[in-house]
Amino acid sequence: MLDIKMQLSTTPKEKPDQTKLGFGIYYTDNMFVMDYTEGKGWHDARIVPYAPISLDPAAMVFHYAQESFEGLKAYRTPDGSIQLFRANKNAERMQNTNKRMCIPALPVDDFVQACKTLVEVEKDWVPSQEGTSLYLRPFVIATEPHLGVRPSSTYSFIIIASPVGAYYESGLNPVKIFVEDEYVRATPGGTGFTKCGGNYAGSLASQVKAHDLGYEQVLWLDGVEHKYVEEVGSMNCFFKIDGVVYTAPCVGTVLPGVTRMSCIELLEKWGYKVCTDRLPIADVVKASKEGKLEEVFGTGTAAVISPVGELRYEDDVCVINNNKIGEVTQRLYDEITSIQWGKKEDHMGWTIKVC
């Protein structure tokens, strides 16, 4: 159990208009910080005023990108209480990321305790407007000033919190996705399964290209054959073809999303066949031409469930379900958001009460 010292802000900020939150624009009054020193372990857990952090310009995170991050949300329920969604899964994933990035492990219980404590301190920042939440961004950075390439001997674990609305401006309206066939996101043996900043830095050129072509996001193909669908920029991706729901396997190149995992569990509970074998993009295009591509949707903490209305791969443009949200997509959205926002009983045991 962490001994978290409170050194809270004495100058509270004005809270933003809950109808205009956007995503990742506003930050709460305080943040959680804990340091790691080789030989001493994690120490000095504290909640301090949200403020810029001071780092040596030689800090290793700036040069070799040794860092990891997570994303999870705190939800305001109808009775005014606050809950987290499967925070232990984020903690476990951060452990896997840290292992791959040679960052010291953070105990799952400490991660969850830190999130809960920050949310409790910032409870007045958890919005109540439909579809809003308090997004938590835990991250670890390598802080040792050193230019040789090796793991840092010091780190900081920080959690910031941001009241948010929908990730996409279009809300639950279908997004248009460009299938990337030039750049790759991940290859076997690489860092594709981790949540590290480098994965996202490497994706930006493709995202800019897709935006210029009028698409909101990129669908990545596997990095070896450029043949199998993997994931979308900020989401995992599901395809319903002829009654069967497909999503890419988490075999090292795909991020094991918490919402992805939750959707699979619900779909199986509802009796759908979920196939996590590799799915060729050619099969998706063929299914679309044959009228069998019934639904496509993305899943993620930030994006929740996001219907896909159009996929472009090379010269083929697949319009999905007449650019309307599909039945399974809507059912998953309703079920998951009802559990997250406490509008229905949590029959899956996924929520963690904060206060």
Which residues contribute to the site for ligand COI (CB under 6 A)? 71, 200, 234, 300-302
336, containing H or E segment: helix 327-340
Give the nearer residue to ligand COI in terms of CB position, either 200 or 272. Answer: 200
203-211: long-range pairs with CB below 8 Å, 24+? 203/233, 206/180, 206/182, 207/233, 209/178, 209/180, 210/177, 210/178, 210/180
Give the nearer residue to ligand COI in terms of CB position, either 259 or 321. Answer: 259
Give the nearer residue to ligand COI in terms of CB position, either 163 or 300. Answer: 300
Tell the smallest beta-carbon distance from residue 135 to ligand COI (Å).
7
Q: How far apart are CA 59 and CA 292, in angstroms?
A: 52
Pairing mode of beta strands 154-164, 274-275: unpaired
Tell the smallest beta-carbon distance from residue 139 to ligand COI (Å).
10
Tell the smallest beta-carbon distance from residue 280 to ligand COI (Å).
26
Give the nearer residue to ligand COI in terms of CB position, either 127 or 300. Answer: 300
Alpha-carbon distances of 78 from 83, 128, 178, 275, rounded to whole Å: 11, 8, 38, 36
Q: How far apart are CA 291 and CA 39, in angstroms?
A: 61
Give the nearer residue to ligand COI in terms of CB position, either 47 or 305. Answer: 305
Give the nearer residue to ligand COI in terms of CB position, either 133 or 288. Answer: 133
Nearest by Cα to 337 from 234, 284, 239, 266? 266
Q: Which residue is nearest to ligand COI (CB)?
A: 71
Say how many Å lie between the first and final Cα of the chain, rounded.
18
Tell the smallest beta-carbon distance from residue 208 to ligand COI (Å).
16
Tell the smallest beta-carbon distance from residue 279 to ligand COI (Å).
22
43 within 8 A of 35, measured Cβ to Cβ: yes
- The dihedrals phi and psi of 217, each to the nearest 5 degrees, come to -145, 170
Tell the smallest beta-carbon distance from residue 214 to ligand COI (Å).
21
